[in-house]
Each structure stands twice: as C-alpha cells, then as structure tokens.
Structure 1
C-alpha cells in the first residue's frame, strides 16, 4: 500500500493509521517481501476487493498530483452514479415494526 499511497502524493503515516485502525474494514495485513537490495521488508497490503472501499475514503483535495486528483474525483463521481441518489434522513422510510415488537 505504501507505494500506492505515496504515488498518489498522500501521507503514508495517516493512511497507515486509517488502514490499521479498524482491521475488519480493510483487512489490512503485513506481508514479508524481498526488496531489490536483497533485504526482507514488511509491506502493508489489503485484498484487492477492499481497494475500491479504501479509494472511497480518499479526500481528492489532499491528492497533490492534479492528474491523480482528477482520477480520484472521477472514481468518486462514478461511485455516486452507481449508488444512486440518497434520500435525505427525513425522507427515509422507517422499517415496519413487527407485531411482536409493537406489543412489547
């Protein structure tokens, strides 16, 4: 994850904290890998299926590279388009109460 985060111009320390703060959310884990210099390194990684969820947490204003920022904004717009409009909290329907819950 670090090369991806730094490639986007983001602060690794902040993203690392986000990734490890809630283990169930991103399922971030450390793997051991061999660097180009022959030394073993630990690298944080997340499953590919969690990658879009992580991208959704990125604030485009914090991305330094204008081309990358534009791409993050495009991904955010596409996610909103797929999700559809969300009703305002006062417009959301209440789940019907069951007969048992209504008695209690």
Structure 2
C-alpha cells in the first residue's frame, strides 16, 4: 500500500509532512531539524513519556532526499501536544518566536476549552433554576385554577340537578355562591 504524504505545517521553511496511510503520522526528525533541536533526545523524551511513549512508532516515509526512510513518528493528534512540550530556550533563534507563539495559542485553546465549558455549565445552572421557579409558579397557578374549575363545575352540576321543588324551597332563587 502506497502512503501519501501531505504538508500540514511549515517550520522555518521546512515542510512538516503527514504520512497518510492507515494512521495519520508525523515524523519528528524534520520538525526537530527545523527547530534546531536534537531528534535523538526528543525521541528518548517521547519514549519516556507515559502517554507518548506508547504511541510513537517507526514508519517508512520519503525523506528530504527523495528516498524511503524509516522514521520515528507520532500520530498527528499527539504530535501537536508533543510540540507544546518543547522548551523555546532550546530551539534555534529563528524558531523561538514560532514556538512561543504556538505555546501561547495552546494555552489559549486550553483555557477556552475548559473555561467555555465552565461558563456553559454556570449559565445552564442559572437558566435551569429560573425555569424551575417558573414551572413551580405555573404549577401553583394551575393547581389554584384547577380547584376553581372543579368548584365551578360542581356548582354547575348543582344547578343542572336542581329540581323545581328545591327551587321552591330555596325561596324561588337560583343563586350560586361562587368562591373565588
């Protein structure tokens, strides 16, 4: 099966490729070279990481020279997190600003993800409480109205059932005493 490659990023004019086979993998060596950091040290760091160590793999990729090379790769999703761990003090000068900008974007994305969720939950709780109060108010109004309706229906049935003799005994009155 032929693996396709596509550019997913550029670091210092170096194309970062995504190996698009069964898994979307990113070779770390070209990234390390673009940043001016040691690829072997980064591979060791990744392999010692509790999460990244279990997902780093060797995969064949076309190198910069056009030849197939076996490269240590991370799944694309995890490569983005690994980049966040790179210390800007350790990269070459022209890559430092890019790494700092990337880290700031990561901090912003994390904050937005978790604070937006927290804000959503707070707003939801407030709306739920307000709506529960409204439901309770309407239920109370409904109970009161239902009781009034039942009393009016009872009085209506009393009128329907009143006989001529009862009317005469009631001093010829058909008065109903509605209770409001």
Give TM-score scaled by structure 2 length. Answer: 0.40
Matched, 1:32 2:60: yes
Larger Rg: 2
Q: Distance in 2 between matches of 1:82 and 1:48?
A: 17
Matched, 1:52 2:110: no
The higher relative CO (CA closer than 8 Å, separation ≥ 6) is in: 1
Compare the two structures and name the one with the higher strand fraction. Answer: 2
Alignment RMSD, CA only? 2.6
* Superposition deviation, residue 34 in structure 1: 5.7
Superposed counterparts of 1:87-102, under 5 Å: none
* Superposition deviation, residue 69 in structure 1: 1.1
* Structure 2, unaligned runs of 5 or more: 1-27, 113-180
Matched, 1:11 2:11: no
Q: 1:64 to 1:31 in 2, by over 3 A?
A: same
Q: Which residue of 1 aligns with 2:103?
A: 76
* Structure 1, unaligned runs of 5 or more: 86-104
Q: 1:34 to 1:60 in 2, by over 3 A?
A: closer
Q: Distance in 2 between matches of 1:37 and 1:59?
A: 30
* Number of residues of Structure 1 aligned to a counterpart in Structure 2: 84
Q: 1:83 to 1:24 in 2, by over 3 A?
A: closer
* Superposition deviation, residue 24 in structure 1: 3.4
Give TM-score scaled by structure 1 length. Answer: 0.66
